Amino acid sequence: MERARIRLHVEHPLGPGQAVPLTEAQAHYLFGVMRLGAGARVALFNGRDGEWTAEVARAAKRGGDLACIEQAAPQLNPPDLWLVFAPIKKARTDFIVEKAAELGAARIIPVQTDFTNSERIRQDRLQAHAVEAAEQCGGTFVPEVSDLVPLAKVLAGWDGARRILWADESLAGPAETLAGLAPGPWAILIGPEGGFSEPERARLRGLPFVTPVSLGPRILRADTAACAALTLWQAALGDWR
Beta strands in 131-185 (DSSP E): 144-145, 149-150, 163-167
By residue count, the chain amounts to: 241
Q: Is 149 exposed, middle or buried (0-12, 13-18, 19+ CB in 10 A)?
A: middle
Q: What is the pTM of this model?
A: 0.93
Q: Closest Cα partner for 60 from 43, 38, 81, 44? A: 38
Report the relative pairing of strands 149-150 and 51-60 from DSSP bridges: unpaired
**CATH superfamily name and code, 81-237:** SPOUT methyltransferase, trefoil knot domain (3.40.1280.10)
Q: Do domains 7-73 and 81-237 have the same CATH topology?
A: no
- CA quadruple 81, 86, 92, 94: dihedral sign: positive
Give me the residues paired with residue 149 across strands.
Answer: 111
Domains of the chain by residue range: 7-73, 81-237
Name the amino acid, one letter, at 103.
Answer: L
* Residue 141 φ/ψ, nearest 5 degrees: -130, 140
Instruction: List 8's β-bridge partners, or say none.
Output: 44
Tens of pLDDT along the chain (241 residues)? Answer: 677 889 999 999 999 999 999 999 999 999 999 999 999 999 999 999 999 999 999 999 889 999 999 999 999 999 999 999 999 988 999 999 999 999 999 999 999 999 998 778 999 999 999 999 999 999 999 999 999 999 999 999 999 999 999 999 888 777 677 878 899 999 999 999 889 999 999 999 999 999 999 998 988 999 999 999 999 999 999 998 8
Shortest CA distance to 133 belongs to which of 104, 107, 108, 99? Answer: 99
Instruction: Give exposure, 159-197, as e/b (b: 16+ Cβ within 10 Å).
Output: eeeebbbbbbbeeeeeebebeebeeeebbbbbbbeebbe
Identify whether the C-beta of residue 141 lies closer than 8 Å to the C-beta of residue 76. yes
Q: 7-73: which CATH number, 2.40.50.90, 3.40.190.10, 2.40.240.20, 3.40.50.720?
A: 2.40.240.20
Dist CA 120 CA 22 (whole Å): 31
